[in-house]
Structure 1
Amino acid sequence: MNGFERATREPVQRHDFDDGDHAQGPQSGDRLLSSGGVLPFLVGATVPAGRPLLLLSGHTPPVICRDAPADSIAAFGDTHAQTDGCLRELERSLRRLGLEMGDLVQLRVYVVGDPALGGRMDNEGFSRAYARWFGTPEQPHRVARTRVQVVGLVNPGWLVEIEAIAAA
């Protein structure tokens, strides 16, 4: 696959709730308001007919400390570092296909509980890294997102793995 033609693509319609009340259903616009302000993800997205979807396998964090054992958290960093690393790897994959982060419409994020937090998922670390990539002036689009805590991933040092769907 050499990439996707961008010139003739219809835009993705991104859905939010205008007041944070999920019972009312999706509204137009690109903001999700709630009592806490704008949330960093969408309720959903509609991809125009004829625009292919690209389903990307799980992206895992790169090694950041080569001196640490290859199956240790120290080799990959905490949840914040691993989330940022996974998103960088995802961006590289998209660019090789002629796409960009703004083409993403959905993320599925698997997060292992951090032993340093008593086995709880590091929501704050994840959210800080995620906020650098979505809903920013440089990349204003947000995605529909699911984040789940899992018992473990293939490498015991991984705390984060991210699958994605892009509208090509």
Structure 2
Amino acid sequence: MRITSAISAMLAATVAAAIVPAASANAQVVKYQSNPGALILDGAEVKAGTDLFFLSGQLASPIDPKKSWGDIKSTEDLGDTKTQTISALTKIKALLESKGYKMSDLVKLTLFIAPDPKLGKLDFAGANEGFKQFFKTGENPETVARSAFQVAALAGPYFLIEIEGIAAKKK
């Protein structure tokens, strides 16, 4: 029991030492990332006095903006998982900006990923490739805490990803 407690204490101390707050000392949101090269955060702490914005799940828009939802007949009309991820995150970015937030204010994203019929499975790598267009970039060096779930299907038969999020910023 003593050895287990000592190992747990050493592990906790090592992890605590590795955590790098990604926000300034006076911020109300602190992002923790023990591996600065990682694409996602370990977690984010949102303190009292912080504005929160909860974003509903966003789906991709048709690749051809002239097409209506009734014109969507296959995944080709919406794109592969990477393309749909970029489309959904572009919508999230616009929603955030309309409310005075930035992509760097996102603290949590949840990805719901349906299997790509061409692959016969979900395309997590494609989702990550789309994600890289918005996080850990020159425009947005931040990233977010994130969860991803495989789902059987989404709101329509040709959607491959839906993304919901939470943004937080100091009042």
TM tier relative to shorter chain = 0.7 to 0.9
1:71–1:156 contact (8 Å) kept in structure 2:
no
Deviation of the 1:70 alpha carbon: 1.6
Correspondence 1:69-108 to 2 at 5 A: 69-108=71-110
Root mean square deviation, CA, Å? 1.8
Residue of structure 2 equivalent to 1:57: 56
Residue of structure 2 equivalent to 1:139: 140
2:32–2:44 contact (8 Å) kept in structure 1:
yes
Deviations 1:92-124, CA, capped at 9 Å, x for gaps:
000110111010000000010111112x11122
Secondary structure of the structure 1 residue equivalent to 2:50: coil
CA distance in 2, matches of 1:116, 1:130: 21
Deviation of the 1:57 alpha carbon: 0.4
State the percentage of identical aligned residues.
Answer: 35
Identify unmatched segments of 5+ residues in structure 1.
1-8, 19-30, 32-37
Letter aligned with residue 110 of structure 2:
R
Q: TM-score, normalised by structure 2?
A: 0.77
Aligned residues: 141
Residue of structure 1 equivalent to 2:40: 41
Letter aligned with residue 62 of structure 2:
V
Runs of 4+ in 1 over 2 A off after TM superposition: 65-69
Deviation of the 1:75 alpha carbon: 1.4
Residue of structure 2 equivalent to 1:23: none
Match of 1:110 among 109, 112, 120: 112
Secondary structure of the structure 1 residue equivalent to 2:41: coil
The higher radius of gyration belongs to 2
1:40–1:142 contact (8 Å) kept in structure 2:
yes
Residue of structure 1 equivalent to 2:14: none
Higher helix fraction (1 or 2): 2
Secondary structure of the structure 2 residue equivalent to 1:132: coil
Residue of structure 1 equivalent to 2:156: 155
CA distance in 2, matches of 1:69, 1:121: 24
